[in-house]
Amino acid sequence: MKKFVPFLFFLSFLSVLFIGVGQAAADAPKLYLNGKPLESDVEPAVVNQTTLVPIRVIAEGLGFDVIWQKESKKVIVHNGETRIEFTLDDRTALVNGEAKTLLAPATAIKNRTMIPLRFVGENMGLDVYWDQKTKTVQLFQQVKPADPPPAEPPKTETPEIPAKGKLKSIEYNGLGSVILRYEGDVKANKPFVLNAPDRIVLDLPDTAFASDFLPEPPVKGTGGSLTVDGHPTLTKVRYSLYSDKPSTIRVVLDLTAPTNYTFTEGQGELRIDVLDAAGPAPSQPPATEPPATDPSKPPAKKYKVVIDAGHGGHDPGAKSVLGYNEKELNLKIALKLYELLKKEPAIEPYLTRKDDTFVALDDRAKFANDLKADIFISIHGNSFTPSATGTETYYNRSDSKQLAEILHQHVLKATGFKDRGVKTAGYVVIKKTTMPAVLVETGFLSNKDDAAALQKEETQNRIAQELVAGIKNI
Ligand SMILES: [Zn+2]
């Protein structure tokens, strides 16, 4: 529920990046592609004020092939449509044969080729957002055809004409309102709603970011975001320079469910009030519960717990340094938890998968939503550098925070690993589920001590037992 000052936000984002270079790896921002973390052994780095990212993991995440030509020190990224050639220590890249200049030369860090983030965004069809709160760099593949185009902006004969309006700030007031302040003339298009995922989109034609909104002038497709806490459906506000000719700003309100809103235009101010989730609001609690007069009857309603073993089938998850796959470990813990919960008379457990099958992330969330589950627990193993170790727990919406904190303490007790804390992230299964939902990263399969401990059945049993204790503790 904090006020949001974009300029400070960006400065602090940059300082986080700068700190990340010299200090502990844990401070460096994480890379996300389409809401999923990109696992790389090299983190983004800032060199001479340019953010560099490992090209291979991003390119592969986008379905490109990556070729490394050792003799010529070239990295070639191609997907049949686009071919980009980088040469180590060279500031020129060839994009489909056309030479383009990088802000900084392609640089090798720990044997990985690092490319300026801005270039990657511009040339690989990505929108780039920085999220200070979760310390992440969020990359989204541009899916322009799916979005209805913004209403035709006013035609101007001279493309060099400056934008009529300047967006000065975007803030969330903590009470369901997103407020945009501007100077000059801003004629916003009518907001429109998109789904899968649910979002409200507001385009501001002929509008540019005020000079102090961002630390440097944004290029098309770049911007920032603001994480929202404490709203039933609104989780994030993203903004970017949607088009540069003419300058159009797009603001996107990310929602976890279809939500009604009102849009108000004031003097120097635009306001979107995000109301409760769409659909008839229950005026009073449903009177389906029978009066508890007959003590011999079992409880009318059991507490539904959905257990989600991460990955499965053709998606093995992380590979442990000891050879086993994350999907196997996740399933073992999930099945143990399921068996223990079945013995609890007040609890009805469910599994998103009970064997080695692939289940899409959206289907896992839908399964829990359709069931009207009470809580959702996703079980995973982590992977990073060999030295990274510990247990961490993720949640997305504030209604899941308490659950995350309770379960985290219990899992931590079970593993005895380093406490990496409770964190927020946009993983699909914890974002698209509508009940309190957490994702537990039990330990690092890339670390030989964590991997060995997790391989032991007694550790898996302890994790399952502690999760039960945690669930009963809620
Ligand atoms: Zn995983």
Is residue 3's pLDDT more than 60?
no
CB 269 within 8 A of CB 447: no
- CA–centroid distance, 357 to ligand 1, in Å, is 15
Closest CA to 137 of 126, 146, 147: 126
81: left (phi over 0), alpha (psi -120 to 50) or beta: alpha
Is residue 283's pLDDT more than 80?
no
Find the range with the poorest average confidence among 10-14, 133-137, 180-184, 372-376: 10-14
Residue 327 φ/ψ, nearest 5 degrees: -60, -35
CB 150 within 8 A of CB 189: yes
- CA–centroid distance, 379 to ligand 1, in Å, is 8
Task: Give me the percent of the chain exceeding a pLDDT of 90.
Answer: 45
Q: Which helix (H) or strand (E) holds 467?
A: helix 457-473
Mean pLDDT of 398-410: 95
Is residue 154's pLDDT more than 60?
no
- CA–centroid distance, 460 to ligand 1, in Å, is 16
Task: Give me the percent of the chain exceeding a pLDDT of 70.
Answer: 82
Q: Look at the chain and count its residues.
A: 474
Structure-model confidence comparison of residues 215 and 456, the more confident one: 456
- CA–centroid distance, 439 to ligand 1, in Å, is 9
**Distance of alpha carbon 114 from alpha carbon 104, whole angstroms:** 10
Q: Dump the DSSP string for 38-82.
A: PP-SS--EEETTEEEEEHHHHHHHTT-EEEEETTTTEEEEE-SS-
Residue 346 pLDDT level (bands cut at 50, 70, 90): very high
Q: At what angle do helices 448-455 and 457-473 cross, to 10 degrees?
A: 80
pLDDT given at position 67: 84
Identify whether 85 is a catalytic site residue. Answer: no
- CA–centroid distance, 319 to ligand 1, in Å, is 10
Mean pLDDT of 287-313: 69
Catalytic option among 43, 326, 392, 441: 441
pLDDT given at position 300: 55
- CA–centroid distance, 351 to ligand 1, in Å, is 16
Q: Residue 77: how many CA atoms within 13 Å on its side-chain side?
A: 23
Most confident range, picked from 31-45, 92-106, 161-175: 92-106
Structure-model confidence comparison of residues 117 and 301, the more confident one: 117
- CA–centroid distance, 436 to ligand 1, in Å, is 19
What the chain holds in terms of domains, given with CATH numbers, is 6-140 (3.30.457.10), 165-277 (2.60.40.3500), 303-473 (3.40.630.40)
- CA–centroid distance, 442 to ligand 1, in Å, is 10
Find the range with the poorest average confidence among 71-75, 133-137, 436-440: 133-137
Find the range with the poorest average confidence among 154-163, 339-348, 364-373: 154-163
Structure-model confidence comparison of residues 344 and 78, the more confident one: 344
Q: What is the mean pLDDT of the chain?
A: 82
